[in-house]
A and B are shown apart, each in its own frame.
Chain A
Amino acid sequence: MYDGGKIITGLIIGIGLFLFPFYYNAGKAAKAPDPELTPKAKEAKVCVMEKAYMTANHFSLLDEWRHTVVRDSNRYFTAENGKVYYKSLQVTCLDCHSNKSKFCDQCHNYMDVNPYCWDCHIVPEEKK
């Protein structure tokens, strides 16, 4: 093999660079998100659906809500326990979950999703 030394050194440096991010980040896994409930949300105990469903599918619910509200003018939602909610991200959801940065953003950042809800819907001012 001609120039064997150079090639092998090059390969080692190349592989080293390729693996660098893995070494560098080893053992430093990003902290799993832990959405925080406001006292008001804790007190309410139940959301509009059960917690497991909301965690996994809140976006489907919100998508359905925005559709039925704007297009079918069907603005009220009856929960399983019979309680009626006004279907509104801004007025109803964020009334309880008024801590967007600690409730919504934690997971959204972790999952690297960027919902554009907030381009139009107003986020409540958070008390620091």
Chain B
Amino acid sequence: MSYRAGGEEVMGLDRRNFLKIAGLSALFGLGGKAAVDIFAPGELEASMEAVPLTEGKRWAMVIDIQKMDEELMNKVTKACHREHNVPDLGNPKEEIKWIWKEDYEHSFPGQQHHYIGDDFKQGSFLLLCNHCSNPPCCRVCPTQATWQREDGIVMMDQHRCIGCRFCMAACPFGARSFNWGDPRRVLRKEDLKKLNPDYPTNRDYPTRSKGVVEKCTFCAERLAKGQIPACVEAANKVKENALTFGDLADPDSDVRAVLRKHYSIRRKPELGTEPNVFYIV
């Protein structure tokens, strides 16, 4: 137990105690997490765990792979990208994507084996930001332009982003895209104009500027108005429950019900980032 200025008691280790324990441990040839566990059992665990499920929400998405097909994935991607003025830049090196499809090998590496059916091996999967409970991108951001909200959404603040791309290096899921140029160049360049005839597609949502990183925000702006994310809305218009969105903290929510009923997997669970996007296989 430690104290803040003013005598208020706070949980966890403060720096002073941490250094004391570390210094003492060094004398006895101990180090790292083990040392803290011996001298102050339980304390470190508390500060290493992700943001607790507060009284609020913990947003999550479930993608039913059985209900997805190429056409639906394209439709969902288009709906999202139109909603958020994400341009098609025609060049994979400059590509900006919030939600996209990817092959099996790159979606679930480490989970493949020789005998998986061709449906899977050659299939595509819908990928987006996993809004991890333990997001590495937020840890590395030097300006806190990306951070985890209390409801679990890994949010981006474009006003603060300095374009260092640490977050892109940290994200193991490739969920982030960098604006190498001003996205509004699609309004000026003839070849890009053809790819984006009605850009900007949503005049109620901003574009981005040159030199910032962007990604899916679980449609934070729509959630604030009580709407569900654009991808979920688009998918469910075509196929009921292809995408499910809801609150993991609520045991009666749709996502919890779906996850109880079906077996689901997540991308790269071994990394411990605790993704909040689940795939029903």
CA distance A119 to B182 in the complex (A): 9
- On whether A120 and B203 interact (CB within 8 A), knowing A71-B157, A73-B224, the answer reads no
Return the CB mask of B199-214 against A: 1 if under 8 Å, else 0: 0100111111110000
Q: Given the complex of chains A and B, what is the CA–CA distance between A70 and B157 in angstroms?
A: 6
Nearest CB in chain A: distance from B216 CB, A: 15
Q: Does B155 contact A (CB under 8 A)?
A: yes
A66 within 8 A of B: yes
* Interface status of A116 (Cβ within 8 A of chain B): yes
Of B203, B208, B209, B224, the residue contacting A124 (CB under 8 A) is B203
Within 8 A of A (CB), among B240-270: none
* Cβ proximity bits A35-71 to B, threshold 8 Å, 1 near / 0 not: 0000000000000000000000000000000110011
- A108 contacts the other chain (Cβ, under 8 Å)? no
Interface size class of B (residues with CB under 8 A): 20 to 34
Chain B 58-89 near chain A by CB (<8 Å), digits 1 or 0: 00000000000000000000000000010000
A120 touches B220 (CB 8 A): no
Query: CB-nearest residue of chain B relative to A88?
Result: B204
Contacts A120-B207, A120-B208; A70 near B200 (Cβ below 8 A): no
Q: Is A91 an interface residue when CB atoms closer than 8 A count as contact?
A: yes
Q: Beta-carbon contacts of B177-217 to A below 8 Å, as 1s and 0s?
A: 00000100000000000000000100111111110000000
Given the complex, which residues of A lie within 8 Å of B149, measured CB to CB? Answer: 73
> Which residues from chain B contact A90 at a C-beta distance below 8 Å?
203-206
Nearest residue (CB) in A for B211 is: A119
- Please state if B155 and A70 are interface contacts (CB–CB under 8 Å): yes
Within the assembled complex, what's the spacing in Å between the Cα atoms of A71 and B157?
Answer: 7
Q: In this complex, what residue of A is CB-closest to B220? A: A73
Contacts of B206 in A (CB 8 A): 90, 120-122
- Does the CB pair A75–B207 fall under 8 Å? no
Complex: how many Å from CA A88 to CA B203? 12
State whether A75 touches B157 (Cβ < 8 A): no
Residues of A within 8 Å of B273, CB to CB, are none
* Contact (Cβ within 8 A) A91 B204: yes
Given known contacts A73-B220, A91-B204, A124-B203, is B159 in contact with A119 (CB within 8 Å)? no
Can you give 24 contacting A-B residue pairs, CB < 8 Å? A66-B159, A67-B159, A70-B159, A71-B147, A73-B149, A73-B220, A75-B221, A88-B204, A90-B204, A90-B205, A91-B204, A116-B209, A119-B182, A119-B209, A119-B210, A120-B206, A120-B207, A120-B208, A120-B209, A121-B206, A122-B85, A122-B203, A122-B206, A124-B203
Interface contacts beyond A70-B157, A122-B200: sample of 15 additional A-B pairs, CB < 8 Å, sorted by A: A67-B159, A71-B147, A73-B220, A75-B221, A75-B224, A88-B204, A90-B206, A91-B204, A116-B209, A119-B210, A120-B206, A120-B208, A121-B206, A122-B207, A124-B203
